Amino acid sequence: MTIDVVVPTLGRPSLSALLEALASGSVTPARIVVVDDRRRAAVPLLPAGAPGTLADRLTIARGRAAGPAAARNVGWRLSSAEWVAFLDDDVVPAADWFDALQADLVDQPRGVGGSQGRIVVPLPTDRRPTDWERNVKGLETARWATADMAYRRAALEAVGGFDERFPRAYREDADLALRVQHAGWRLLRGRRSVLHPARPVDRWISVRVQAGNADDALMRARHGPSWRAHAGIPPGRRLRHLAVTTAGLAAVVAVALGRRRAGATAAVLWAAGTARFAWTRIAPGPRTRAEIATMLATSVAIPPVATWYWLLGWRRVGGRPAHAGGRPRAVLFDRDGTLVVDVPYNGDPTRVVPVPGARAALDRLRAAGVRVAVVSNQSGVGRGLLGHEQVEAVNRRIEGLLGPLGPWLVCPHVPEAGCGCRKPSPALVLRAAEALGVEPWECALIGDTGADVESARAAGARSVLVPNTVTRREEIAAAPEVAPDLGAAIDLLLGVRR
């Protein structure tokens, strides 16, 4: 069993403490991948001489400053270990953490895809905790939090890793856990533990974190209205925030229209709702003058800010599920094994052979006015087995045999490169949708592997799997829609019954 550790970071000072804790253990990781996700690396990530004994095991990779989901994808795709353990850069592992991690993972059955460590949030002993400290304390009961979460690499590959549409540390871990479980893997709790201190913050932190409401809209679109129950997340205050915000707006509008009595009634409702919310936050806290002032100010701001972000997120997903069903406006195709017979690392146009019925099926799609594109992994380029011009020559030959296929979106990288475009990443699907002038949920992707299905799922598109001799049974079982051949897949998308 091999385990690599991945830590995304924004350069917090706590990173050094984390690495020192890992170095102090009797058993240490063989490899630690730290993903530097800062926009600008103005100062060194680590002090000179850090991390000491782990220097020969440490890999520092550059992230794209696209959030922790994208940074973790960079990290685990650089790993070749059987298991990948994710830690946040503000936790402190126990001295025996890695030894305990090995004990949690050793001899786990193949159906186990992940293991969560215990998160301990220390609170002050000389006073009541603040609102922010109580918020962080909630991590102790959170399910599948990536502050300390290990995944089997095969599970990450099966679902395409983290969905990079989650731009902040909020719901990206719950989304991944639900998708891994949906793909048939089990997640367990381990015995290892990390400390997660509540870091110092300014008084407006509780307002800024309301941006996560936009991610809640995406969670509902992807996993349905019961997503909170499935993820073990308590009900939120959305309806109360909406009611308070509506009352406040109604008061302003009524006064502007000269309807003072209605405005006064709405203002009373707004004040009552705001006061109740503030008291629920003040009562369990230290009740210092500074804390009370912060709770009053932020309790006024939170309901409209939370509502705004929820509406913004809902607008981005269009109020629709991950894919809207029905006839798509665009169909994207995997290339090898889907449109043409798979010839590994083919750079010779004369060896192109379309799959049976491909031309007729594509002609039906074009006649229906559906746009098309191709999304293809071509790692032969990254391996030095092909040149870009050879890939393009093969693509031209395919179009000569099958007709125009719209834009070609190709990832030339090897899996170990940790790029953000290789399927099962959603990047090629998202870029194809943009090039075709449609929304991702208006697309469907036809392919022959689980990577194609997960690429579509991660982008919010529909997918149809057309299995062949290389398609694994578990990929077929996990696919939402399966067709016996390309023609049947297109009939399914067009709603044609034969």
Give the Cα separation of 401 and 233 in Å (integer): 52
Give the Cα separation of 450 and 445 in Å (integer): 12
Of 3-12, 181-190, 253-262, 463-472, minimum mean pLDDT range: 181-190
Looking at residue 13, which CATH number applies to its domain? 3.90.550.10
Average confidence (pLDDT) over 433-459? 90
33 and 171 share one domain: yes
User: What is the phi-psi region of residue 471: left when phi exceeds 0, alpha when psi lies from -120 to 50, beta otherwise?
Assistant: beta
208 and 306 share one domain: yes
**Six token digits for residue 348:** 């010779």
CB atoms within 10 A of CB 183: 20
Average confidence (pLDDT) over 103-114? 93
Give the Cα separation of 195 and 147 in Å (integer): 10
Closest of 111, 58, 113, 109 to residue 83, by C-alpha: 113
- Is 233 domain-assigned? yes
Give the Cα separation of 452 and 377 in Å (integer): 10
Residue 322 has pLDDT above 60, yes or no: no
Res. 450 pLDDT band, cuts 50 70 90 = very high
Structural domain ending residue among the three candidates 261, 287, 319 = 319
Of the chain, the percentage scoring pLDDT greater than 70 comes to 96
H helical segments located in 236-288: 238-256, 260-282
- Is 325 domain-assigned? no
Closest of 375, 405, 406, 372 to residue 494, by C-alpha: 372
225 and 85 share one domain: no
365 and 431 share one domain: yes
438 and 486 share one domain: yes
211 and 135 share one domain: no
Give the Cα separation of 285 and 291 in Å (integer): 8
Of 171-175, 221-225, 396-400, minimum mean pLDDT range: 221-225
Give the Cα separation of 248 and 273 in Å (integer): 10
- Is 422 domain-assigned? yes
| Catalytic residue positions, numbered | 334, 336
Calculate the dihedral angle through the C-alpha atoms of 458, 459, 461, 466, rounding to the nearest 10 degrees: -60
**Mean pLDDT, the chain, whole residue set:** 91
3-class secondary-structure state, position 93: strand
284 and 353 share one domain: no
3-class secondary-structure state, position 49: coil
189 and 258 share one domain: no
17 and 151 share one domain: yes
pTM of the model: 0.70
- Over residues 163-204, the pLDDT tens digits come to 888 989 999 999 999 988 877 789 999 999 999 999 999 999
Average confidence (pLDDT) over 123-130? 95
- Over residues 364-376, the pLDDT tens digits come to 999 999 999 999 9
Residue 25's pLDDT is 77
Res. 320 pLDDT band, cuts 50 70 90 = low
- Over residues 377-394, the pLDDT tens digits come to 999 999 999 999 999 999
Residue 415's pLDDT is 84
List % helix, strand, coil for the chain (3-state, nearest 5): 45, 15, 40
Average confidence (pLDDT) over 275-300? 97
Residue 98 CA to its chain's centroid (Å): 26
Phi, psi values for residue 32, rounded to 5° = -125, 125
DSSP structure class, residue 411: E
Residue 37's pLDDT is 92
- Is 260 domain-assigned? yes
User: What is the phi-psi region of residue 326: left when phi exceeds 0, alpha when psi lies from -120 to 50, beta otherwise?
Assistant: left
Looking at residue 445, which CATH number applies to its domain? 3.40.50.1000
- Is 399 domain-assigned? yes
Residue 138's pLDDT is 93
Residue 214 has pLDDT above 60, yes or no: yes
129 and 263 share one domain: no
Residue 15 has pLDDT above 60, yes or no: yes
The string of DSSP codes covering 104-131 is HHTT--TTEEEEEEEEE----SSSPPPH
Give yes or no for a contact between 214 and 170, defined as CB atoms under 8 angstroms apart: no
**Six token digits for residue 317:** 């997903």
Residue 324 has pLDDT above 50, yes or no: no
Instruction: Tell me the residue ranges of DSSP E strands in 250-360.
Output: 330-333
Identify the domain containing residue 75 by its residue range. Answer: 3-200
- Is 115 domain-assigned? yes
186 and 211 share one domain: no
**Six token digits for residue 408:** 């070609």
Average confidence (pLDDT) over 147-152? 96
- Is 377 domain-assigned? yes
Structural domains counted in the chain: 3
CB atoms within 10 A of CB 473: 8
The larger pLDDT score, comparing residue 123 to residue 48, is at 123
**Six token digits for residue 487:** 């023609």
Give the Cα separation of 105 and 25 in Å (integer): 18
Structural domain ending residue among the three candidates 277, 297, 319 = 319
Give yes or no for a contact between 331 and 365, defined as CB atoms under 8 angstroms apart: yes
164 and 62 share one domain: yes
- Over residues 34-79, the pLDDT tens digits come to 999 998 877 788 876 666 667 778 899 988 888 999 999 999 999 9
Query: Which one-letter amino acid corresponds to residue 301?
Result: A
- Is 162 domain-assigned? yes
Phi, psi values for residue 422, rounded to 5° = -70, 130
Give the Cα separation of 218 and 321 in Å (integer): 9
Structural domain ending residue among the three candidates 174, 200, 226 = 200
